Amino acid sequence: MKSTIVFQMILLTMFGFVGSVLVGFIFYNSLVFAPNLITFQFVTVGISGALFFSLLKYKSTKEQLIGITIIFLLDFVLIIGKPFSISLIIRDILYLSSMFLAIKLYYKFIQRNSTIKYYLRTFALVFIYCLLTVVFGTVVYLINAKFEFPLIDFLLAITKISILVGFGIGIGIDFYLQNENYIMKYLKLITA
């Protein structure tokens, strides 16, 4: 039973991640794999967002908090190659917090509501994630730009990326959840 839950978590995380990367690849081609560009969020937010959603679905609150801590630590390890900067740490904490909060709100109020159709739920995640990313992104901009109001180009860029990332994660997760029984039966046939 425990191995089945771990397997379901891996599959759910994989589908959310692949959804995010595929949407990013459709719009930005191989730029989604360039770690120094904003488009790399399709990879980083895709994996961490999908992993956090699977923790929400299959694990206890204690295990969710441990998972969030590990995700934060991995993020800080990944930025070690860059010059150490408190603004980078603040940026990453706020962006990851916006993603965690968006997925938590989505899971609590939208995903568990069976009256909403699966693929319509994706658009709710897009809205929540986009709204929180723009708010948190504006705070990051204000901190880094010494409290000058963000340029419209900056707001448009983070809005576009957050819409696409949220859509990719949401469509991947919803596809898996809607077809979970078929996928599990298919994979049992292959592994049998």
Q: What is the mean pLDDT of residues 70-86?
A: 71
190 — pLDDT class (breaks 50, 70, 90): low
Percent of the chain with pLDDT over 70: 91
- Please tell me the predicted confidence (pLDDT) of residue 71: 83
Enter the pTM of the model.
Answer: 0.86
* pLDDT tens sequence across 50-76: 999 999 888 888 888 888 888 888 777
**Domain count within the chain:** 1
- Please tell me the predicted confidence (pLDDT) of residue 80: 52
Higher pLDDT, residue 151 or 47:
47
Q: How does DSSP assign the chain, residue by residue?
A: -HHHHHHHHHHHHHHHHHHHHHHHHHHHGGGGG-TTSGGGHHHHHHHHHHHHHHHHHHS-HHHHHHHHHHHHHHHHHHTTTSPP-HHHHHHHHHHHHHHHHHHHHIIIIIIT-TTS-HHHHHHHHHHHHHHHHHHHHHHHHHHHTTSPPPPHHHHHHHHHHHHHHHHHHHHHHHHHHHTHHHHHHHHHHHH-
- Is residue 1 predicted with pLDDT exceeding 60? no
Where in the sequence is the domain holding 89, given as residue range(s)? 2-191
* pLDDT tens sequence across 124-180: 899 999 999 999 888 888 887 766 666 888 889 899 999 999 999 999 999 998 898
- Please tell me the predicted confidence (pLDDT) of residue 188: 77
- Is residue 88 predicted with pLDDT exceeding 80? no
